[in-house]
Amino acid sequence: MRLSIYRYNPESDAAPRMQDYDIALGGHDKKLLDVLMRIRETDDSLSFRRSCREGVCGSDAMNINGRNGLACITAVSDLKEPVVLRPLPGFPVIRDLIVDMTQFFTHYNSIKPYLINDQIPPERERLQSPEQRERLNGLYECILCACCSAFCPSYWWNPSKFVGPAGLLQAYRFITDSRDTATRERLAYLDDVYRLYRCRTIMNCTEVCPKGLSPSHAIEQIRVALLRESS
Amino acid sequence: MRLFHGQRAWVLQRLTALVVLLLLALTAATLLIGPAPSYERWHALATSAPGAVLIVIFFAALCGHAWVGVRDIVLDYIQPTALRLPLLALIAFILIAITLRVTLTMATHFTVGA
Amino acid sequence: MPAPPRAAPKFLNLAQIRFPIGAIASIGHRISGVLLLISLPFLVLALERSLRSEADYAALGTWLNSPWRALLLVVMVWAATHHLLAGVRHMLMDIGIGSRLAQARMSAWSTIVAALLIALLAAMRWLS
């Protein structure tokens, strides 16, 4: 299999370059991550993040043939050769396919990704009806891999101000949670030309989410909630 | 006070779009069905009280709509503030000037009861 | 995590990114919007001229006789149609109609194709 991979070592390279690899695949090399691990057998200078190797940890997000995805759940058989691998678009590159996620997580923290409830906690737990619990489906599954935000032009142009699809999906996860009492504050925080309203609903986020979630739908729901709030 | 609003601009963009859409449909229904209208018919329609008012509303809505769109483009692609603010001021000036000019034009043509 | 060096590179070469159809419909929305904005002053001038006299009104009709002007108008027909259809698409999606991915892909394709078709019809009428 032929691959062309983005290489950059801040200690030795003045600028990034592309390096070609020709790799003979073994019988168990089913996913792109398997191929990357095989390259590492001959070239251990190639750097990328990986952990669970089954699409749960969200570490190995990268740009694969022009679209963002997780290497561990991308089938080799679906890929056109040469397979071109680049780091997540718009994120500062630390080394090879490893990007700096600091800003991404700053946005995640900014939407207060935890339950806020000022009422006295009940003895056992805060119960939800099945319908209330149902509303969290499609939101709580996010693994924060950043495939979506790194595929969003609005995030590329305003990475320090636009919360981005991943952060907004999480924001809605708490806005719609029946146990959360800070809905109004959360919405007020997002009523901002940058934080929420940079989104133009092109749906690149939903196109690339490896978990099949729809950040664009969450954003749509936040805008509707804001409309209700102000009318 | 914030210089740029979130929801307010978003709503304005959609309301003005609806106004433009509605007036375009109205125009299409009255003028574009059948042969091209004669000068007399067009002139009478456009300078009647409802016609003149609708034309002014149409251009005002277009300008309001254009403002939000251009503002979004500037906020996305033009990052230096020193460039941004003069550019936005210029565009706002042009859009206001267009609205005023259409208002004045229609006012001079305006004939009561035509 | 070590701090990245001051001038950390970024990969953001738009030619090497494969854009989904929704993104292409959206950039068309933007480009057509700019074209419409540029045409706005000329639209005002045309309105004024059309009301000035019968001869001026008739002159607007013969404006199309030059092929270059006709071509310009075909471009504007594309811009207006694409912008309008893409705008209606967005407003429907705002209220939850067609905002699922499969439907949104379909409507993005339809918008692009319909606007090009209508521009083609305009070209056939004015450029032949």
Task: Tell me the CA distances in angstroms from A63 to A7, A14, A101, A163, A187, one per residue in order.
Answer: 13, 22, 15, 21, 32
CA distance A146 to chain B (A): 20
Of the listed ranges A36-40, A119-123, C107-111, the one predicted with least confidence = A119-123
B65 known member of a binding site: yes
Identify the helix (H) or strand (E) that includes residue C37.
Answer: helix C21-52
The pLDDT assigned to A227 comes to 94
Residue A67 sits in a domain whose CATH number is 3.10.20.30
Residues in chain B within 8 Å Cβ distance of A219: none
Give the mean model confidence (pLDDT) for residues A211-229: 96
Per-residue pLDDT tens digits of chain B, which is 114 residues long: 455 678 999 999 999 999 999 999 999 888 877 777 899 999 999 999 999 999 999 999 999 999 999 999 999 999 999 999 999 999 999 999 999 999 999 999 876 544
The pLDDT assigned to B1 comes to 40
Is residue B48 packed enough to be buried (19+ CB in 10 Å), middle (13-18) or exposed (0-12)? middle
Dist CA C21 CA B96 (whole Å): 35
Within this chain, do residues A159 and A63 fall inside the same structural domain, yes or no?
no
- The answer to whether C57 faces chain B, any CB pair under 8 Å, is yes
Last residue of one domain, picked from the residues A77, A99, A121: A99
Within this chain, do residues A71 and A163 fall inside the same structural domain, yes or no?
no
Instruction: Specify the amino acid at residue A137.
Output: N
Within this chain, do residues A95 and A109 fall inside the same structural domain, yes or no?
no
Are C115 and C59 within 8 A, CB to CB? Answer: no
The pLDDT assigned to B2 comes to 56
Within this chain, do residues A106 and A201 fall inside the same structural domain, yes or no?
yes
Within this chain, do residues A92 and A112 fall inside the same structural domain, yes or no?
no
In which band, very low, low, confident or very high, does the pLDDT at C5 lie, cut at 50, 70 and 90?
low
Within this chain, do residues A131 and A173 fall inside the same structural domain, yes or no?
yes
Q: Kindly give, in sequence order, each residue whose CB lies less than 8 Å from that of residue C15, ignoring residues fewer than 6 positions away.
A: none
C1/C18: higher pLDDT: C18
Residues in chain A within 8 Å Cβ distance of C4: 10, 92-94, 100
Touching A (3+ Cβ pairs <8 A), the chains are B, C
Helices (runs of H) and strands (runs of E) counted in chain C: 4, 0
Dist CA A3 CA A22 (whole Å): 6
Task: Tell me the CA distances in angstroms from B33 to B18, B25, B30, B46, one per residue in order.
Answer: 22, 11, 7, 17
Q: Choosing among B12, B65, B78, which should be mutated to test the C contact, i.e. which has the most C CBs within 10 A?
A: B65
Q: Which pLDDT tens digit goes with each residue over C32-42?
A: 999 999 999 99
- Given a cut of 80, whether residue C4 has pLDDT beyond it is no
Show the domains of chain B with their CATH numbers.
7-109 (1.20.1300.10)
Give the mean model confidence (pLDDT) for residues C69-74: 93
Within this chain, do residues A146 and A206 fall inside the same structural domain, yes or no?
yes
Interface residue ranges in chain A relative to chain B, Cβ cutoff 8 Å: 153-154, 157-158, 190-198, 200, 223, 226-227, 230
CA distance B4 to chain A (A): 6
- The answer to whether B63 faces chain C, any CB pair under 8 Å, is yes
The pLDDT assigned to B98 comes to 97
- Given a cut of 70, whether residue A89 has pLDDT beyond it is yes
Residues in chain A within 8 Å Cβ distance of C18: 65-67
CA distance C94 to chain B (A): 10
- The answer to whether C51 faces chain B, any CB pair under 8 Å, is yes
Contact B102 C30 (CB under 8 A): no
Contact C94 A220 (CB under 8 A): yes
Give the mean model confidence (pLDDT) for residues A18-40: 95
Within this chain, do residues A82 and A130 fall inside the same structural domain, yes or no?
no
Question: For residue C113, how many other CB atoms are within 10 A of its CB?
Answer: 11
Residues in chain B within 8 Å Cβ distance of C87: 17, 21
Count structural domains, chain A.
2
Last residue of one domain, picked from the residues A65, A99, A133: A99
DSSP label at B28?
I
Last residue of one domain, picked from the residues A82, A99, A116: A99
Domain that holds residue A51: 2-99
CA distance A29 to chain C (A): 25
Place of tokens 């000329």: C42
Residue A175 sits in a domain whose CATH number is 1.10.1060.10
CATH topology of domain C21-126: 3 helical TM bundles of succinate and fumarate reductases (1.20.1300)
Of the listed ranges A5-9, A159-163, B35-39, B95-99, the one predicted with least confidence = B35-39
> Mean pLDDT, chain C, as a whole number?
93
% of chain A exceeding 70 in pLDDT = 100
Within this chain, do residues A119 and A207 fall inside the same structural domain, yes or no?
yes
Nearest CA in chain B to A191: B6
C83 known member of a binding site: yes
Give the mean model confidence (pLDDT) for residues A198-207: 97
- The answer to whether A8 faces chain C, any CB pair under 8 Å, is yes
Within this chain, do residues A74 and A115 fall inside the same structural domain, yes or no?
no
